[in-house]
Amino acid sequence: MRRRDLLFSSLLTGTTMRLAAQTPTRGRLVIVGGAEDRVQDRLILRRFLQHAGGPQARVRLLTAASSVPLVVAASYRQAFAELGAGDCELLPLLERDAAFLPEVVQAILDADAIFISGGNQSRLMDVLRETPAMAALHHAHRHLGRCIGGTSAGAAAMSRHMIVQGPAMRHPRKDVVGTGVGLGLLPAAIVDQHFSQRGRLARLLSALAQRPDLLGVGVDEDTALVVESQEAIEIIGSGAVTLVDASSAHTNLAELEPESQIEMLGLQVHTLPAGRRYPVRPARQNATWPPGLREAVQRLVEQVPLPS
C-alpha cells in the first residue's frame, strides 16, 4: 500500500473508532438541477443549510468542477452568509493531488455538510476518482449522517453511472450519450439536470436504453430532489423532478446502428412537482400510489452501498 493510502487508512480508522458507539446514519442528499436562486428567497440553499444543522453548521464548498472555482466559491459563501451561515469555507480541493492530503480528508470528515458546485462533472471526477477524499465523502454521508448537496454538474456526479455529454434531441438515439463514473452516492439512479429547460428527456431515455436497471432522474433548474435515507424524497424549488423507470421496458437497441432512433415501450414516467413529499413507508396518503411510484421512491431512499 502506498504511503498516502496508509495515511488515509489510519485517519479514517481513527475517526471510525471514535464514533464506534454511534449507530451509522446515512445523511440527506440534496440534488439540484442547476440555476438555483442565490439572490432572492434562496429556498433551496436555505433548506440545505437547515439540513446541515442551521446557521452554526460547518458548510464546506467543493468547486473543483468549475473553471473559475474561486469565483464560484465566493458567490456561494456570500449566499450562505446572507442566510446566516457563520462557517462556510472552500475546501482546498481543486487539484487531484489535494485529494490525497490528510488535512483535506479531515476537513471533509469534520464538515456538517458539503455543497458541490456546477461546472464540468468530468473535471470534478478527474480530481476525486478513487481518492481518499472521495472515500471520505462516502464515509461522511453513509456513516456520519452528513448532508451532501450538488448542483448542475455536482448533481450529475451524484450517480455512479454519470452522464458526461450528449446533445439535446427530440427522440432517444443509440450511442449518442457519453457516460462516465460518478461519485456513486445515489447508486441506483442516473441523474440529468437543467432537465425541462434544456429538453433533456430524450437524452435521459437514450442513457436508460443502455442501462435500464438504473432509475432515471431529471431535475429542473431551481429545483432540488431531497433524498432522506430510508424515509422519503421531497421536491423543493420552482420546478419538478421527473422519474423514469425503464426496468420493464422493451427496446430494439440490439437491432440498431449507432445514432438510430430507439423504440422504447413500457416506460413508467412520474412527474413530481415542487412542494410534494413522498414517504416510502405505507401510509394513508400514499395508499393509492401506483406500485411503480412506490418502487421508484424505494430505489432512491434505500441506497445500496458500492462494493468496497
User: Are residues 237 and 274 in contact, defined by beta-carbon separation less than 8 angstroms?
Assistant: yes
For residue 273, give the DSSP letter.
Answer: E
Grid cell for residue 276: 410534494
Q: What are phi and psi of 97, to 5 degrees?
A: -60, -35
Give the contacts of 62 (CB within 8 A, at least 6 positions apart): 91, 93, 114, 115, 116, 117, 124, 154
Nearest to 211 by CA among 147, 168, 163, 144: 163
Which among 66, 152, 159, 206 is annotated as catalytic?
A: 152
φ/ψ region of 182 (left if φ > 0, alpha if ψ in -120 to 50, else beta) reads beta
Helix (H) or strand (E) holding 278: strand 277-279
> What letter represents residue 267's amino acid?
L
Q: How far is CA 194 from CA 36, 57, 174, 217, in A?
A: 10, 28, 22, 11
* Rounded CA separation 187/20 (Å): 25
Instruction: Tell me the backbone φ, ψ of residue 84, rounded to 5 degrees.
Output: 105, 0
Active site residue 194: yes
- The one catalytic residue in 122, 161, 221, 234 is 221
Cα–Cα distance for residue pair 260/146, rounded to 1 Å:
43
d(CA 45, CA 27): 17
- Residue 152 is a catalytic residue: yes
| Residue among 194, 206, 228, 234 flagged as catalytic | 194
Amino acid (1-letter code) at residue 213: D
Closest CA to 185 of 123, 124, 135: 135
133 sits in which H/E element = helix 132-142
CB 29 within 8 A of CB 230: no
9 counts as catalytic: no
Catalytic residues: 152, 194, 221
